[in-house]
Chains A and B, each alone.
Chain A
Amino acid sequence: MPFIANTDADRQEMLAAIGCANVEQLWEKAAVPAPTSDFSMLPPGRSEYEVAKHVTHLAGKNASELVCFLGMGYYDHFVPAAVSEILGRPGFYTAYTPYQAEASQGTLQAIFEWQTAICRLTGMDVANASLYDGGTALFEAMMMAMRSTRRRHVVIAGAVSPIFREIVACYSANLDCRITTVPSVDEGSKQDALLAAVNDDTACVIVQYPNVFGTIEDWTACVAAIKARGALAVCAAYPTALAVIKTPGECGFDIVVGEGQPLGMPLSFGGPYLGYMCTTSKLMRRMPGRIVGQAKDASGRTGYVLTLQAREQHIRRAQAMSNICSNENLCALCALAYMTLLGKQGLVEVAELCMSKARYALEQLSAIRGVRRVGTQPFFNEFVLELPQDAAAVSGRLVEKGIAAGFPLGRYYPQRQNQLLVSVTEKRTREEINDFAKSLEAVLWN
């Protein structure tokens, strides 16, 4: 069922028109070699109905009804139905990169609105059209900082998501740069140690806000000190939290990136997600990726175009700011539609519900014998619990009770074997939290 319109009669007519007796002759004239495989490993094609049945069956093999307290940068937020209806408009999802501006004003204006919305949320001046995900966006921010400062050393906090740090390590493996990782302590990023790691060749200091343990730290003074040393301050921020916490712009960060998944994208087993990137007007021309700007036509009408393209691979080739070609356009549109539907007040409410329920969960969970929170600093919707037993084993037993209790940090932080990172979104109910606490107590002490 390969969705082909040509009939055999069409094909004969077309072959005749191009001077070929049959398809095999066309292949020969096009210099395409003969097949070397019969593709026997592939199953025979199936009808739409059969495929739907088969794939629906596979979906059923995934666990459902699991109550989710897993987060660590990727969150189970509520998404209004209108978001997917908007993304399902054929004008959006069956179009491509807006090379022909006149035929792409819908996409271009939407990107312009996305850039505006994410700048308003982060408190920054400019944004690009998006990158693949939070981790690659963080790597691009690091590259941008090295380009801007012509320095090659990078300081990164151990309280930045290890998932992001693995990506940065992978992408920078063959590049001329040195990365210093500053270990986290308890629930904190260790600001004094970060500053102590800065030297005259440091291009940037990278932190996460709130950090991977959910802690909201005040970066204002630290950022000023970083900048005083001629380095740039970069943060990866959780966009939902930014509805209520001091903006990265107010903190003075130079580059703000992050994972946009919480803004209306399903978890979808790891993607597609959305890397966002914002910066100051000063650094605008150092940004990678597509950027949309306002423009006028000959009759003075306002429209939108891809702009500042001299930074990009199709023009600069090996000297481009990045190899990125397209953005994650439909995901950026998703985030824009989500922020529009939730709106100014709604996003604040989501953040407040997250904070309220996370605090209730902490109360209930830390009331269990032997369970305590690591640290005391303010947090957003995530916190670390110290358990009296191995956290991976405990969370494994809770999975059997239908609860994804959180992420056992020992996987990435060997000294945190008994620590569990718990995330709570607005979707979790009082009842689910109570049930979690009861189950945890039973697993620990029965």
Chain B
Amino acid sequence: MELIFNQGAAGRRGVRLPKCDVRPFGANELPASLRRATAAALPEVSELEAVRHFTLLSRRNMGVDTQFYPLGSCTMKYNPKINERLAALPGFTDQHPLLPQLRHGEALCQGSLAVLYETERMLSELMGFAATTLQPMAGANGELTSVMMFAAYHKARGDQRRTVMLIPDAAHGTNPASAAMAGFDCREIASNADGDVDLDALQAALGDDVAGIMLTCPNTLGFFDKNVKKVIELVHQAGGLAYCDGANFNAIVGRVRPGDLGFDAMHVNVHKTFSTPHGGGGPGAGPVGVAERLLPFLPKARVVKRADGSYGLDYDYPQSIGYIAPFYGNFGVLLRTYCYLVMCGREGFKRISENAVLNANYVRSRLAPYFEQKFARYCTHECVLSARPQTRFGVHALDIAKALLDAGFHAPTIYFPLIVPEALMIEPTETESKEMLDRFCDTMIEIAKKAESDPEAIKRCPLNMPIGRLDEVAAARQPVLIAPNPAADN
């Protein structure tokens, strides 16, 4: 599609602004040394041209509202529409974040503060922790917040030797990257033949230099580690702390509380488990729950309920790690989370995890005969299959993904986790119906059969999409990251 910069005409306008009701001050009245030489070459289009351009662009995407989107580890569940509408209420969107920092300012924000306070309480209850911070602005940001609190905890105890973070080999790449940003060295722990953490490898890795472990629970293979309590116990015995990567919380929400298992901290992706939209890659939010001993280190500010029933902000935490977000987290996203929490309520979450696990196992059982299961066991919310059988015919996970796109399905996550070759990581979520799962499975089976009978046809996919496979190697070698500037501005 034509870039927006190549549409419209010089002088065309999209929006009219109010007349200037004071003495006008033009840019040319700024001192010459501070003035911009030429106006930025932004688009010059009518409102209709802009709306049509972006509407057409939006139709070149697959989304949950139009397609089954079984992207493993991402929990692409339905985004309830009422949440969008409520998050757009001017009473919330117009609030300046500095308002509560003014004298008497908290009284102006009681609605917003109530949302934050109650969201925090409900998340703490679901995760099984003493408190939750809503500040982290994404899942990876929540990981970082957690391990930064670990660092602060050890430091406060005068325990400076603990410089190592243990990370299982099945972990998301964000885990080691977050640990590194918090100043830790990473030590990888192997998985055993069942896909769980290898206890011998763990024992061997433990020592008085270990600050903690980052454990995804359920793990990235979609399994609930049978030894999870033992793993936590061993790490604790060695003086370390245990963090739960809650990327897969949708599998157990309303049933198991990671806090009860002994974890010291956990982040949850509200854009996964709590239905806030993924937005094509953000914004999300990654609240972090903590056990008692980490309370003093939570980020500032904390939302509190005062004796008179009003809500306020408390900054008086001398051991706090500080400001993870500029204010109180991604409020607009957390507001959608609140709506979802209130709608689902006490009994809702149990049904969510049950159906998520049922749907994933149904897909697993239907597809297992056609693809390889490296670890043959019941999964939780997602199943990881392998396209290894198809490689005999020259067909790889990537080809299967592209064939699915042609058939009108978004592809699963592919080539992750790294410990499963040719991985196809399928997460149906609880919001999909059995008929949809059957259509998907039928298509996957057809693709598996075609991979054998006509592999070239699969490798040519996609043919029905707006574009064919793109040459990513050439794109990275000589990157073109922006459109050329019009000659006039050179």
Contact = CB atoms under 8 A, between A and B. Distances in A.
Given A1-B348, A4-B351, A136-B137, A244 B476 contact: no
A17 interface: yes
A414 interface: no
A276 interface: no
B278 A170 contact: no
A159 to B, nearest CB: 16
Given A30-B378, A250-B37, A337-B50, A323 B178 contact: yes
Given A89-B58, A113-B4, A318 B176 contact: yes
A269 B30 contact: no
Interface string B338-349: 110111111111
Contacts of A357: 20, 22
B365 interface: yes
Contact of A346 (B17, B138, B176, B260): B17
Interface in B233-255: 251-252, 254-255
A73 B326 CA distance: 10
B278 A94 contact: yes
Contacts of B99: 63, 66, 70, 404
A273 to B, nearest CB: 7
Interface string A371-386: 0000000100000000
Interface in B94-124: 94-99, 101-105, 107-112, 114-115, 121-122
B331 interface: yes
A133 B136 CA distance: 11
A341 B15 contact: yes
A14 B362 contact: yes
Given A51-B343, A270-B325, A347-B42, A318 B180 contact: yes
Contact of B256 (A18, A32, A106, A218): A32
Contact of A318 (B22, B92, B179, B468): B179
Query: How extensive is the interface on chain B, given as a class?
Result: 35 or more
A3 B281 CA distance: 23
B469 interface: yes
Interface in B107-166: 107-112, 114-115, 121-122, 125-126, 128, 137-141, 143-144, 148, 151-152
B14 A342 contact: yes
Contact of B346 (A44, A59, A173): A44
Contacts of A342: 14-15, 42
Nearest to A411: B101
A266 to B, nearest CB: 4
Contacts of A10: 433-434
B332 A11 contact: no
A62 B92 contact: yes
Q: Which of A89, A94, A112 has the most CB of B within 10 A?
A: A94
Contacts of A11: 355, 358
Interface string A315-329: 111111011111111
A347 B378 contact: no
B61 A107 contact: yes
A343 B44 contact: yes
A416 to B, nearest CB: 15
A340 B85 CA distance: 24
A314 B281 CA distance: 15
Contacts of A14: 358-359, 361-362, 434
Interface residues of A, number: 206
B388 interface: no
Nearest to A132: B137
A160 interface: no
Contact of A307 (B30, B104, B128, B476): B476
A174 B17 contact: no
Given A45-B347, A94-B63, A245-B34, A330 B40 contact: no
Nearest to A129: B281
Contacts of A163: 323, 326
B332 A271 contact: yes
A276 to B, nearest CB: 13
A18 B378 CA distance: 9
Contact of A323 (B104, B112, B174): B174
Contacts of B218: 32
A293 B322 contact: no
B487 interface: no
8 contacts: A30-B224, A39-B126, A39-B349, A93-B280, A243-B40, A273-B330, A314-B174, A327-B282
Given A42-B345, A247-B40, A356-B25, 14 more contacts: A3-B430, A15-B358, A30-B224, A51-B82, A52-B86, A55-B115, A61-B111, A126-B482, A272-B333, A296-B474, A307-B476, A326-B282, A345-B44, A348-B39
The 3 closest A-B pairs by CB, nearest first: A45-B345, A396-B103, A270-B327
